[in-house]
Amino acid sequence: MSRYRRADIPGATYFFTVLTYRRRLILCDAPVRAALRDAVKKVQSRHPFTIDAWVSLPDHLHTIWTLPAGDANYAMRWSLIKRRVSLACAEHYHRTNWMTASKIKHRESTFWQRRYWEHCITTESDYSRHRDYIAINPVKHGLVTQVRDWPYSTFHRDVERGIYPLDWGGASAISCLPTN
């Protein structure tokens, strides 16, 4: 059995990639967006964290979180968020025919991929590269030609905060970003 080692730094900032099971194109569906928004808010209310950046694409999402001082338990937060979304969306998105013995044993649904990718951000340049990567991701995947045209991200919030100009990031910006 594989043993995964994850970063465990209290109060740190982390970049995450989370995928749907079998890369299903469902994360931009209105009921899924609503369930995800509700799950995040509920988990944040009990287990605070700051969302520095976020983008939802049809089959995956990227986000940067900063955890409170003294707290490194992002795994519990992701577990609660994924569980809430899976339960809220089960009626329309659960696929009984995709259930395996392993999924049953681990009490999983057919909504999310089992694991996720995480990276602890330790420098300002690393933070900036990952924030840019999140913003440009819809362009990278050919969903839009300009970042401003993708509605499911924190890019517009970041424009309001002065982090990005509205015209930042088109197809030509992709070559200078990390390849996560």
- Residues annotated catalytic, as ranges: 152
Per the DSSP assignment, residues forming a β-bridge with 18 are: 61, 116
